[in-house]
Amino acid sequence: MVSIRDRKVRVVAKLRGSLAKEAESSKDGSVSWLSVYKPKGEDSETVTVTLVEQSLSRRECYEVDFCYEQNQGNDVIYSREVKPLISRVFEGHNATVIACGARGSGKSYMIQGTEEELGIAVLAMVEVLSVAEEKGKLVSMSFYEIVQDRVYDMLDQKRQEVSILEAHGKIQLKGLSQVRVASMAEFQKLYCGDRGGMRKLDQKIAAELPSRSHKGLIIYVSSCGENENDVVVGKMNFVDLAGYEDARRKSRDGQTCVENIKMINKSIYALQNVVYSLKANEVHVPYRESKLTRLLQGSLGGTNRILLVSCLNPSFCQDSLYMLSLASRCGQGTNRAISDSTKKISRSVRNMASISHKSRLHGSSSNISKKQAVRSMPFPEKKAATNSSALKTRKLFDKTGQLKSDKMSSLDNDLATEHSTQEEEMTSNTAKQALPLKAEGSSPLVLQDPKSTSFSEALVPNSITNETTACFQEISHNEDGHEEVTPITKVLPKDKNGENMDKENYNSLDNQRVSPPISARLQELSNNLKSLYFSTPTTYRDTTMTNDISVLDEVSLTNDTSVFDEISTLLEPVTPHRGAKTNDAQEVASFCSPWETFNMHNSGVKDSVVKEYLKFLNTAKKEELKKLKGIGEKRATYILELREDSPEPFKNLDDLKDIGVSAKQVKRMMRQEVGGIFD
């Protein structure tokens, strides 16, 4: 089993210390809206953060690898979480520490710190410099800012924009300064301020650009290579994400800069999605969805490590909670957010889809004894080039997810899956959250895929009905970039062994959209064949099934094939198959597809009708001929005269011209006659 320290993605939470005014408003300055459950104290491998805001009539729980409380300073987070990563950097692996959270949740305080309390990046640099000296390595740094998805070099006087290039599979940051650092004083000067003449420039740029941005520090450990060029051994990234804010709420509040908020949120989701994908070992990791993920690409996958710290405000903050839910969800590559509502409300299917999908876990403490696992994930927002609905389907359940869901579905099903109105609002407000569906009594779904509009689906075994439900979700993005999900649920038919017959057809919605499932098409063909077969007079049926179909060739040799085509169309709107020349229908069937075989049979039936009609003209008595529509006394007499000259004057429909019947009349006659036969 992989030790938690060896996990490639680790997700922890950090409760920010209270500010003076916050301490005043609460009795003891402690956090009252969240409680943290650590089953094994400081050695817990998983802790549960529970929302305990009574007034909200709801309780939500989220699992993370650990939660640092208010009284635990940056030094504690550093020594437990960051320091172990540093030794790996010297061994050639990269590490990335990401601070996410709502505005004012203490991200910068944790990463950068203050004069009073050093941030984890600063503490890391102390260690890196020390080890580098020991090992004879070189240390350098880059410092960048991302504003409106553009990267700027913070160590450059002019704040040059950085281009992200990819060459030979490696990301190159063109225009990003990499400055050698030999001491903490140098580092502090570059990273923590007092950048001399730059201050004025900073103010000018700050006035021009939206104030909120992501900030990133890269610490490089290098060895001196040939020609004294530095060869990077490993690097450590510290990313201080801009605070998350609900763009819709801001726009309701009439605030400006909503576009900037959306852009920031978009890149937060993109990063969360990358972390999720890496954790879930997905083949495709959506690095290309933001500049930030592109920039970090070389430090995230493979043997590299990610530490995601979800910072939490001490006073109730919906945005903080949402960020925690996303962090929790991407922490295991499956969703681990747990929710427990105390208020039962009914809701529409659509609302069911828009809230977190829940199933029950066994709780280990009294106030969280009823937990419901939410297994959904955030998805990157990826606007299509046009607003057209570029629909895309992805299979959502990997093997692990399926197994897990099976297991979960065996847990109690009677737990209500209701949510408070506020929760609903929260989740509906949650941009970029992939929203799971719940089939009653089934385990939850994991969704995917990120497009302006997309479809997601999952197969959900239902422990009660023993059926498998195919759940599709139409995910579209509203103008705020929030996903809206429309659920479509289908119960898949089962064969006698209890296997879902059409499962494979539901695995890709493309099957649904491009063409019907194969089984449906075969069924349709089969029905057509049956109805054609049984509505055909026995003589024709026998002829078709047992005799040769050489008449096809005969007919195709006629001059006016359009006549035949039209007659055929009257019988059945299927193109006659004329390629095969065989007398053995079974043989044909053996090397033709069912569709081709059906076509041949179908054409054969039609040809037989024509053949029988001509045979009738060649053999019937005068009175019988006159029973045919379009043949009166004169024509019947003429037909008999022709038969005296030739034993078989009518070999094909064209020969009907000999009795003064035009092509048009032939068509009409056949319509009348054939119609009569099939009536």
Ligand X SMILES: Nc1ncnc2c1ncn2[C@@H]1O[C@H](COP(=O)(O)OP(=O)(O)OP(=O)(O)O)[C@@H](O)[C@H]1O
Residue from the set 10, 16, 432, 577 that interacts with ligand X by CB under 6 A: 16
> How are beta strands 214-224 and 230-240 bridged, if at all?
antiparallel
Binding-residue total with ligand X (CB under 6 A):
13
Q: Does 103 bind ligand X (CB under 6 A)?
A: yes
**Least distance between ligand X and beta carbon 243 (Å):** 3
Residue with Cβ nearer ligand X (105 or 543): 105
Burial bucket for residue 384 (CB in 10 Å: 0-12, 13-18, 19+): middle
Owner of token pair 């999605």:
273
**By CB under 6 A, residue 216 contacts ligand X:** no
Question: Which of residues 115 and 414 has its CB atom nearest to ligand X in the complex?
Answer: 115
Choice from 61, 67, 101, 173 touching ligand X (CB under 6 A): 101
Q: Is 110 helix (H, G, I), strand (E, B) or coil?
A: helix
Nearer of residues 101 and 604 to ligand X, judged by Cβ: 101
CB of 85 to ligand X, least distance (A): 21
Q: Burial of 30 by CB count in 10 Å (0-12 exposed, 13-18 middle, 19+ buried)? A: middle
Binding-site residues sit at 101-108
Would you put residue 228 in left (φ > 0), alpha (ψ -120 to 50) or beta? left
Instruction: Identify the H or E element spanning 170.
Output: strand 170-174
- Of 11-19, 282-290, 402-410, 559-567, which segment contacts ligand X by CB under 6 A? 11-19
Feature table: binding site for ATP: 101-108
Provide CB contacts within 8 A for 321, sequence distance 6+. Answer: 51, 60, 426
For residues 109 and 506, which CB has a smaller minimum distance to ligand X in the complex? 109
- Pick the piece of the chain touching ligand X (CB under 6 A) from 97-105, 127-135, 327-335, 586-594: 97-105
| Cβ proximity to ligand X, 290 vs 652, nearer residue | 290
Q: Binding of ligand X at residue 105 (CB under 6 A)?
A: yes
Q: How far is the CB of 99 from ligand X (least distance, A)?
A: 7
Kindly report each contact of residues 553-562 with a partner whose C-beta sits within 8 Å and lies 24 or more positions away, as own/partner.
553/578, 553/581, 554/651, 554/652, 555/607, 555/610, 555/652, 555/653, 557/652, 558/652, 558/653, 558/654, 559/654, 560/653, 560/654, 560/663
DSSP assignment of 377-443, as one string?
Answer: -B------SSSS----EEE---HHHHHHHHHHHTS-S-S-----HHHHHHHHH-TTB------TTB-
Q: What angle do helix axes 291-300 and 258-279 make, rounded to 10 degrees?
A: 20
Site for ligand X in 20-59 (CB under 6 A): none
Cβ–Cβ < 8 Å for 303, 91? no
> Which tokens in the block code for residue 169?
């599979």
- Which residue stretch of 96-104, 151-159, 252-260, 502-510 sits at the interface with ligand X (rule: CB under 6 A)? 96-104
Which residue, 382, 347, 284, is CA-closest to 487?
347
Q: Residue 106 Cβ, how far from ligand X at the closest point, in Å?
A: 3
Of 293, 296, 328, the residue nearest 310 (C-alpha): 328
When asked if residue 314 is in the footprint of ligand X (CB under 6 A), the reply is: no
> Considering only 81-89, 100-108, 344-352, 598-606, which stretch makes contact with ligand X by CB under 6 A?
100-108
Q: Is 338 helix (H, G, I), strand (E, B) or coil?
A: strand
**Among 17, 298, 450, 461, interactor with ligand X by CB under 6 A:** 17
Residue 108 sits in the site that holds ligand X (CB under 6 A): yes
Instruction: Tokens 């995601």: give the residue.
Output: 308
Interface of this chain with ligand X, residues 442 to 501, rule: CB under 6 A: none
Q: According to the binding rule CB under 6 A, does residue 104 interact with ligand X?
A: yes
By beta-carbon proximity to ligand X, the closer residue of 234 and 243 is: 243
- Tokens, residue 149: 């998805």
Stretch that binds ligand X, among 81-89, 106-114, 271-279, 430-438 (CB under 6 A): 106-114
Minimum CB distance to ligand X, residue 37 (Å): 21
Q: How far is the CB of 121 from ligand X (least distance, A)?
A: 13
Identify which of residues 317 and 337 has a Cβ nearer to ligand X in the complex: 317
Report how far residue 438's alpha carbon sits from residue 416's, in angstroms, rounded to the nearest whole number. Answer: 12
Which window, 107-115, 177-185, 547-555, 603-611, contacts ligand X (CB under 6 A)?
107-115
Q: Which parts of 228-247 interact with ligand X (CB under 6 A)?
A: 243
Where does this chain touch ligand X (CB under 6 A) — which range of 16-24, 172-180, 402-410, 445-453?
Answer: 16-24
What's the CA gap between 337 and 356, in Å, rounded?
9
**Nearest distance from C-beta of residue 73 to ligand X, angstroms:** 7
Measured from the CB atom, the residue of 130 and 255 that comes closer to ligand X is 255
Q: How far apart are CA 610 and CA 572, in angstroms?
A: 13
Contact window for ligand X (CB under 6 A) among 99-107, 221-229, 399-407, 654-662: 99-107
Using the minimum distance from each CB to ligand X, give the nearer residue, 117 or 161: 117
* Phi then psi dihedrals of residue 550, to 5 deg: -65, -15
CA distance 361 to 444: 12
Site for ligand X (CB under 6 A): which residue of 47, 63, 78, 106?
106
Per-residue binding letters, 543-582, with ligand X (x by CB under 6 A)? ----------------------------------------
Which residue number, 109 or 540, has a Cβ lying nearer to ligand X? 109
> Do the Cβ atoms of 151 and 291 come closer than 8 Å?
yes
Please state the closest distance from residue 316 (CB atom) to ligand X, in A. Answer: 16
**Are residues 265 and 244 in contact, defined by beta-carbon separation less than 8 angstroms?**
yes
**Cβ at position 103, least distance to ligand X in Å:** 4
In the complex, least distance from residue 261 CB atom to ligand X, rounded to whole angstroms: 12
Q: Does the footprint of ligand X cover residue 441 (CB under 6 A)?
A: no
Q: Is residue 616 within 8 Å of 647, Cβ to Cβ?
A: no
Between 16 and 438, CB nearer to ligand X: 16
User: Which of residues 107 and 601 has its CB atom nearest to ligand X in the complex?
Assistant: 107
Which one-letter DSSP state was computed for residue 228? Answer: G
Nearer to ligand X, 22 or 186 (CB): 22
Can you give the binding site for ligand X, defined by CB under 6 A?
Answer: 16-17, 19, 101, 103-109, 243, 311
